[in-house]
Amino acid sequence: MQSVEKWGVLEVSCTGKTEGNPFVDYAVWGEFRGEQEQVRVRGFYDGNGIYKVRFMPMYEGHYHYRVSGTFSEDIYEGDFLVLPAAEGNHGPVRVFGQYHFKYQDGTSYFPLGTTCYVWNLQKDELVSRTLKALRESPFNKIRFCIFPKHYVYNLGEPRSYPYEGTPMDSRVLTEENFDQFTGNTQLSNFDFTRFHTEHFRHIEYCINELMKMGIEADLILFHPYDRWGFSKMNKEQDSFFLKYVVARLAAYRNVWWAFANEYDLMDKSHEDWKYYGELVQKEDPYQHLRSIHNCIKLYDHREEWITHCIIQRTDLYRTSENTDEWRRTYQKPVVLDEIAYEGNIQHGWGNISGQELVRRYYEGICRGGYPQHGETFTSADNILWWSHGGTLKGESVPRIAFLRKLLEQSGVQGLKLWEKAAWDEVCGVPEKDEDPEYYLFYYGFMRPCVRNYHLKEEKSYRVRVIDTWNMTIEDRGVYSGSFKIDLPGREYIAVEIQEGVHA
Amino acid sequence: MQSVEKWGVLEVSCTGKTEGNPFVDYAVWGEFRGEQEQVRVRGFYDGNGIYKVRFMPMYEGHYHYRVSGTFSEDIYEGDFLVLPAAEGNHGPVRVFGQYHFKYQDGTSYFPLGTTCYVWNLQKDELVSRTLKALRESPFNKIRFCIFPKHYVYNLGEPRSYPYEGTPMDSRVLTEENFDQFTGNTQLSNFDFTRFHTEHFRHIEYCINELMKMGIEADLILFHPYDRWGFSKMNKEQDSFFLKYVVARLAAYRNVWWAFANEYDLMDKSHEDWKYYGELVQKEDPYQHLRSIHNCIKLYDHREEWITHCIIQRTDLYRTSENTDEWRRTYQKPVVLDEIAYEGNIQHGWGNISGQELVRRYYEGICRGGYPQHGETFTSADNILWWSHGGTLKGESVPRIAFLRKLLEQSGVQGLKLWEKAAWDEVCGVPEKDEDPEYYLFYYGFMRPCVRNYHLKEEKSYRVRVIDTWNMTIEDRGVYSGSFKIDLPGREYIAVEIQEGVHA
Quick one: which of A27, A56, A57 has its CA closest to A42?
A27
- Taking residue A363's Cβ as centre, other Cβ atoms within 10 Å add up to 25
pLDDT tier at A300, thresholds 50, 70, 90: very high
Q: What dihedral do alpha carbons B103, B108, B114, B116 form, nearest 10°? A: -20
Q: Which among A321, A343, A356 has CB closest to B317? A: A321
Q: Is the pTM of this model over 0.90?
A: yes
Q: Tell me whether residues B346 and A448 touch, CB distance under 8 A.
A: yes
pLDDT over 90 (residue B161): yes
- C-alpha distances in Å from residue A23, one per residue of A148, A163, A240, A248, B279: 21, 11, 9, 12, 85
pLDDT one-digit tens code per residue, A210-230: 999 999 999 999 999 999 999
Q: What does the alpha-carbon distance between residue B141 and residue B99 come to, in Å, rounded to a whole number? A: 17
pLDDT over 80 (residue B433): no
* Amino acid B502: pLDDT: 63
Q: What does the alpha-carbon distance between residue B410 and residue B418 come to, in Å, rounded to a whole number? A: 17
* Amino acid B296: pLDDT: 95
pLDDT tier at B219, thresholds 50, 70, 90: very high
Q: Mean pLDDT score of chain A, rounded to an integer?
A: 97
Q: Tell me whether residues B316 and A423 touch, CB distance under 8 A.
A: yes
pLDDT one-digit tens code per residue, B258-274: 999 999 999 999 999 99
pLDDT one-digit tens code per residue, B9-18: 999 999 999 9
* Amino acid A500: pLDDT: 84
* Amino acid B371: pLDDT: 98
Cβ-proximal residues to A28 (8 Å cutoff; 6+ apart), any chain: A14, A16, A42, A43, A44, A45, A51, A52, A53, A67, A68, A69, A70, A71, A72
Quick one: which of A421, A475, A419, A408 has its CA closest to A452?
A421
Q: Tell me whether residues A347 and B424 touch, CB distance under 8 A.
A: yes
Q: What does the alpha-carbon distance between residue A329 and residue B381 come to, in Å, rounded to a whole number? A: 49
Q: How far is A346 from chain B (nearest CA, A)?
A: 4
Q: How far is B386 from chain A (nearest CA, A)?
A: 16
pLDDT over 70 (residue A503): no
Q: What does the alpha-carbon distance between residue A363 and residue A348 come to, in Å, rounded to a whole number? A: 20
* Amino acid A435: pLDDT: 87
Q: Tell me whether residues B318 and A316 touch, CB distance under 8 A.
A: no
* Mean pLDDT of all residues in A272-291: 98
**Is the ipTM value over 0.90, yes or no?**
yes
Quick one: which of B91, B39, B28 has its CA closest to B64?
B39
pLDDT one-digit tens code per residue, B11-42: 999 999 999 999 999 999 999 999 999 999 99
Which residue type sits at B235? Answer: K
pLDDT over 70 (residue B489): yes
* Amino acid B503: pLDDT: 52
Quick one: which of A391, A404, A313, A311 has its CA closest to A350?
A313
- C-alpha distances in Å from residue B86, one per residue of B37, B91, B106, B109, B256: 21, 10, 15, 17, 21
pLDDT one-digit tens code per residue, B53-72: 999 999 999 999 999 999 99
* Amino acid A68: pLDDT: 98
Distance of CA A285 to the CA centre of its chain: 19
* Amino acid A502: pLDDT: 63
What is the CA angle A409-A411-A416, rounded to 5? Answer: 115
pLDDT one-digit tens code per residue, B82-104: 999 999 999 999 999 999 999 99
* Amino acid B185: pLDDT: 87
pLDDT one-digit tens code per residue, A307-336: 999 999 999 999 999 999 999 999 999 999
Q: What does the alpha-carbon distance between residue A309 and residue B435 come to, in Å, rounded to a whole number? A: 43
* Amino acid A394: pLDDT: 97
Where do the DSSP E strands lie in B46-107? Answer: 50-55, 61-68, 76-83, 93-96, 100-103
What is the largest distance, in Å, between two alpha-carbon atoms of chain B? Answer: 79
pLDDT tier at A501, thresholds 50, 70, 90: confident
User: Which residue has better confidence, A503 or B492?
Assistant: B492
What is the CA angle A279-A284-A288, rounded to 5? Answer: 110
* Mean pLDDT of all residues in A462-477: 98
Phi–psi pair at B297, nearest 5 degrees: -120, 125
Total CB pairs under 8 A between chain A and B: 83
Cβ-proximal residues to A488 (8 Å cutoff; 6+ apart), any chain: A449, A465, A467
* Mean pLDDT of all residues in A89-96: 98
Residues 130-189 of chain B whose Cβ lies under 8 A from any Cβ of chain A: none
Residue of B nearest to A484 (CA): B346
pLDDT one-digit tens code per residue, A193-210: 999 999 999 999 999 999
Q: Tell me whether residues B351 and A448 touch, CB distance under 8 A.
A: yes
* Mean pLDDT of all residues in A233-250: 98
- Taking residue A88's Cβ as centre, other Cβ atoms within 10 Å add up to 9
* Mean pLDDT of all residues in A453-476: 97
